Amino acid sequence: MSKDIRIKKGLDIKLIGVAEKTTTNSSLSSVYSVQPEDFHGITPKLVAKEGAEVKAGDTLFYEKSDERILFSSPVSGKVTDVIRGARRRVMAVKIAADTTQIHKDFGIKDASKMSAEEVKNHLFSSGCWPFIKQRPYDVVANPDQAPKAIFISAYATAPLAADLEYTLAGKDAELQTAITAISKLTEGKVHVSVGANSMFENLSGLEIHKVSGPHPSGNVGTQIAAIDPINKGEVVWVVTPQDLVVIGELLLTGKLNLQRTIALTGSQFEKPQYITAIAGASISDVTANNLNNDNTRVISGNVLSGKQLEIDGFLGYYDNQITAIPEGDDYEFFGWNKPVFDKISPSRALTFSWLTPNKKYDLNTNTNGEHRAFVVTGSYENVFPLDIYPMQLLKAFMIQDLDEMEALGGYEVAPEDFALTEFICVSKQPHQKIIREGLDLMRQELG
């Protein structure tokens, strides 16, 4: 049975630099880095000390509060550097990769014959558990809570997002194996949201939902709200399709292979296209000979919720996209009142993007104005499809009123759900940061 989801509220941000559908195989980077901050809410305890030799799949660190949750090395090589921040917190583990990669063997499994407990333990030991994230709080899933359903969004609507039908092509067997395995972890359903036509429609053991409408229709949070919203005390789990492939390959081959097809997007790439890379790869290697690095913002992920990288940074653990756009660190004469043709605006306040809905824009990182208190009302609602009052929720999060946060729908949101409201915010408020900090507080106080 399929339940269609039609989203009306939202905004498609069309940018220059859509990845062309050709894939290059990137050569192995010399250095890889795994950054615990990619796994929000994790307190890492280091296992692989500096100088240790690791295989791809060997544990680098584990979660302090739950020693079963391991984090694995994406490559084989030698741990060269452990970078620590304040209070000796592990910030990054750097691994110099061997020229020939050795994978730890986790053994070939038949997913259909595994029990829920076996699947869990296999994901723990191989370091695949962090691929399963949970709502509420948008953190790595707590294995002791039973999810009421598992949600997978196979429809990407974020700006310049990688086309999943392209990056996952040929991975049907891996996806099917992974879905068979993770479906044992919930008593509920495995919901997969897809666009018009999808390879997922040929797979079994899942419930397909066809999604249409502007961004954020592809956000898994939007889909959860439309299919089976989270109530107090309930938990749902979320996995991305590219991580399902990793889980599937682990079961089929016994190897942890974190290589995925990622999209190089944005106007600062000379040739926006797809490239294969292993999680944690050095950005300068992945973008070599392609990036125009003159005053450029490089982002691991998309322009709305991705992470800003230095040019010597590393590909995020979950990301399947690198975006490069121009920095906007320049003044603009009378920029606040002259007619604007080259920027996107949800209003028509002498802004003319409403005339050209299909034009692709080359937006830069300028804030287009200064930070102010909330003034304008009613605009967030136009791009926010959840049945939640966005401004009221943000204000409750800002004043840390836990009762209000809970009552207004704090369990149902993740920071990325507030990316569009942040983008259009006239007062330039940091919505995603407000939500992230509020969710951390809720998690700490309410569990």
Partner 1 sequence: MSLKENLHNLKEKYRGTKMAPAFNAIHTFLYLPNEVTHGGTHIKAADDLKRTMNIVIMALIPCLLFGMFNAGYQHYAAIDGSLRDNVIANFFTWDNLWIGIIKVLPLVIVSYGVGLIVEFIFAVIKGHEVEEGYLVTGMLVPLIVPIDTPLWMLAVAVVFGVVIGKEVFGGTGMNILNPALTIRAFLFFAYPTWMSGDKVWVYDAVNRTGTADAISGETILGSYAQNQEVIYSNWDKFFGFIPGSVGETSTFLILLGAAFLIFTKIGSWRIIVSTFIGASVMGLIFNGIVNADIITDSSKFYGLMSTNWWEHLMIGGLAFGAVYMATDPVTGSQTNKGKWIYGFLIGFISIMIRVFNPAYPEGVFLAILLMNVFAPTIDHYVVQGNVKKRLKRVTVKTA
Q: Based on the shown chain and the rule CB under 8 A, indicate whether residue 218 belongs to the binding site for partner 1.
A: no
Binding segment (CB under 8 A) for partner 1, from list 166-174, 207-215, 274-282, 378-386: 378-386
Among 93, 97, 95, 96, smallest CA distance to 37 is for 93
Q: Based on the shown chain and the rule CB under 8 A, indicate whether residue 368 belongs to the binding site for partner 1.
A: yes
Q: Within 253-312, which residues bind partner 1 (CB under 8 A)? A: 297, 299, 303-306, 308
Cβ neighbour number for residue 161 with a 10 Å cutoff: 21
Report, in Å, the least distance between residue 11 CB and partner 1: 9
Nearest 5°: phi and psi at 84? -115, 150
Nearest 5°: phi and psi at 310? -80, 165
Nearest 5°: phi and psi at 446? -110, -10
Q: Within 88-147, which residues bind partner 1 (CB under 8 A)? A: none
- The single residue among 18, 47, 114, 388 that binds partner 1, judged by CB under 8 A, is 388
| C-beta closer to partner 1: residue 170 or 378 | 378
Check: CB of residue 393 under 8 Å from CB of residue 45.
Answer: no
Binding segment (CB under 8 A) for partner 1, from list 165-173, 249-257, 274-282, 381-389: 381-389
| C-beta closer to partner 1: residue 53 or 336 | 336
Report, in Å, the least distance between residue 386 CB and partner 1: 11
- The single residue among 8, 387, 444, 445 that binds partner 1, judged by CB under 8 A, is 387
Nearest 5°: phi and psi at 159? -55, 125
Q: Within 346-365, which residues bind partner 1 (CB under 8 A)? A: 346-351, 353, 363-365
- The single residue among 21, 271, 359, 372 that binds partner 1, judged by CB under 8 A, is 372
Distance (Å, rounded) from C-alpha 47 to C-alpha 71?
Answer: 10
Binding mask 421-440 for partner 1 (x = CB under 8 A): -xxxxxxx-xxxx-------
Report, in Å, the least distance between residue 44 CB and partner 1: 21
For residue 402, what are its two tokens?
């836990």
Tokens 């691929």, residue located: 131
- The single residue among 325, 394, 413, 442 that binds partner 1, judged by CB under 8 A, is 325
| C-beta closer to partner 1: residue 11 or 178 | 11
| C-beta closer to partner 1: residue 196 or 331 | 331
Q: Within 149-168, which residues bind partner 1 (CB under 8 A)? A: 159
Q: Within 3-22, which residues bind partner 1 (CB under 8 A)? A: 13
Distance (Å, rounded) from C-alpha 200 to C-alpha 207?
Answer: 10
Could you tell me the CA-to-CA distances from 142 to 115, 138, 443 in Å, in that order? 19, 11, 12
The radius of gyration computed from the CA coordinates of the chain, to the nearest angstrom, equals 21
Report, in Å, the least distance between residue 393 CB and partner 1: 10
For residue 52, what are its two tokens?
């240790």
Among 418, 410, 359, smallest CA distance to 383 is for 418
Report, in Å, the least distance between residue 149 CB and partner 1: 13
- The single residue among 9, 103, 343, 360 that binds partner 1, judged by CB under 8 A, is 343
Report, in Å, the least distance between residue 56 CB and partner 1: 32
| C-beta closer to partner 1: residue 257 or 379 | 379
Count, residues near partner 1 per rule CB under 8 A: 74
Helix axes 241-253, 116-126, angle to 10 degrees: 100
Indicate left, alpha or beta for 218 from its phi (over 0: left) and psi (-120 to 50: alpha): alpha
| C-beta closer to partner 1: residue 11 or 279 | 11
Q: Based on the shown chain and the rule CB under 8 A, indicate whether residue 405 belongs to the binding site for partner 1.
A: no
Among 332, 429, 340, smallest CA distance to 376 is for 429
Distance (Å, rounded) from C-alpha 240 to C-alpha 230?
Answer: 19
- The single residue among 41, 205, 214, 229 that binds partner 1, judged by CB under 8 A, is 229
Cβ neighbour number for residue 109 with a 10 Å cutoff: 18
| C-beta closer to partner 1: residue 46 or 420 | 420
Nearest 5°: phi and psi at 255? -115, 145
Report, in Å, the least distance between residue 190 CB and partner 1: 20
Report, in Å, the least distance between residue 446 CB and partner 1: 15
User: What torsion, rounded to 10 degrees, do the Cα atoms 292, 298, 300, 301 define?
Assistant: -90
Report, in Å, the least distance between residue 163 CB and partner 1: 21
Residues 6 or more apart from 383 whose CB is under 8 A from it?
A: 9, 10, 11, 216, 346, 420, 421, 423, 424
- The single residue among 334, 357, 358, 399 that binds partner 1, judged by CB under 8 A, is 334
